[in-house]
């Protein structure tokens, strides 16, 4: 089984008060499970929903972990859910000008659909932005987004702080593609593709597990 198949995802409804998260994680620690992702999914009328993704839960031990969590006085309800990795899979983020972003997405969604109908999961997220400061902040944030593995910079002119941000997230393992544009961003990216639709297609191919496309052999090239 793959790692994403062995994840245990839980939605836990609790009072919205201090100490609850500590109590939950203590039980998880007692079962020697590893927390790979946690999020406060909802806060409403004095209650909150905490979402966990856990790995290293030994076979047959899931029921015991769920039972011990449910026995806590602070737990209102607990239910299992499919993990985000299983539902949405890897994420590609497209950032830049609205028109260019839209064209990149045409290619990325079409290619992702081809892979997803064969069992792979790749999702595409977008945010149209302008301004060096806003773009640089968005680029750096990609490294903090869960399941994000690739970034496409789709704009007419990008450089300066944006290029520095690109180099930073590449060091953290994010694959970065750029449209061919003025500025220093194309020099900082892994791969430069002039046609936005083709750029979206190649972004999906670069992160796919099934595509015969090795980004390591394409770095520094322009198409």
Q: What is the mean pLDDT of residues 175-195?
A: 96
Q: Does 222 reside within a domain?
A: no
Contact 189, 155 (CB under 8 A): no
Reading the block at residue 156, the tokens are 């007419």
- Report pLDDT digits (tens) over 61-98: 889 999 999 999 999 999 999 988 888 999 999 999 98
Give the model's pLDDT for residue 106: 97
Q: Does 67 reside within a domain?
A: yes
Do residues 188 and 93 both lie within one domain?
yes
- Report pLDDT digits (tens) over 93-126: 999 998 999 999 999 999 999 999 999 999 999 9
Q: Does 199 reside within a domain?
A: yes
Instruction: Using the predicted structure, report yes or no on whether residue 10 has a pLDDT greater than 50.
Output: yes
Contact 112, 165 (CB under 8 A): no
Do residues 72 and 171 both lie within one domain?
no
- Report pLDDT digits (tens) over 197-211: 999 999 999 999 887
Do residues 70 and 93 both lie within one domain?
no
Do residues 114 and 79 both lie within one domain?
no
CATH classification of the domain holding 44? 3.30.70.260
In total, the chain counts a number of residues equal to: 223
* Final residue belonging to a domain, choices 40, 60, 85: 85
Number of domains in the chain: 2
- Look up the domain containing 75 and give its range: 3-85
Q: Does 223 reside within a domain?
A: no
Instruction: Using the predicted structure, report yes or no on whether residue 45 has a pLDDT greater than 50.
Output: yes
Do residues 66 and 153 both lie within one domain?
no
């Amino acid at each position: 089984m793959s790692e994403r198949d062995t994840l245990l995802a839980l939605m836990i409804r609790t009072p919205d008060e201090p100490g609850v998260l500590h109590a939950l994680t203590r039980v998880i620690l007692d079962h020697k499970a590893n927390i790979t992702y946690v999020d406060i999914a909802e806060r409403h009328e004095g209650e909150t929903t905490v979402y966990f993704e856990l790995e290293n839960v030994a076979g047959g031990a899931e029921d015991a972990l769920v039972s011990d969590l449910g026995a806590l006085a602070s737990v209102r309800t607990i239910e299992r859910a499919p993990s985000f990795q299983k539902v949405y899979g890897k994420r590609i983020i497209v950032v830049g000008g609205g028109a260019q972003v839209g064209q990149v997405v045409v290619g990325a969604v079409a290619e992702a659909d081809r892979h997803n109908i064969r069992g792979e999961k790749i999702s595409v997220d977008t945010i149209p932005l302008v301004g060096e400061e806003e773009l640089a902040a968005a680029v750096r944030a990609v490294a903090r987004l869960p399941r994000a593995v690739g970034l496409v910079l789709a704009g007419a002119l990008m450089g300066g702080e944006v290029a520095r941000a690109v180099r930073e997230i590449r060091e953290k393992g994010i694959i970065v593609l750029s449209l061919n544009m003025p500025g220093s961003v194309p020099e900082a990216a892994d791969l430069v593709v002039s046609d936005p639709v083709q750029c979206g297609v190649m972004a999906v191919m670069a992160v796919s597990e099934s595509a015969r496309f090795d980004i390591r052999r394409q770095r520094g090239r322009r198409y």
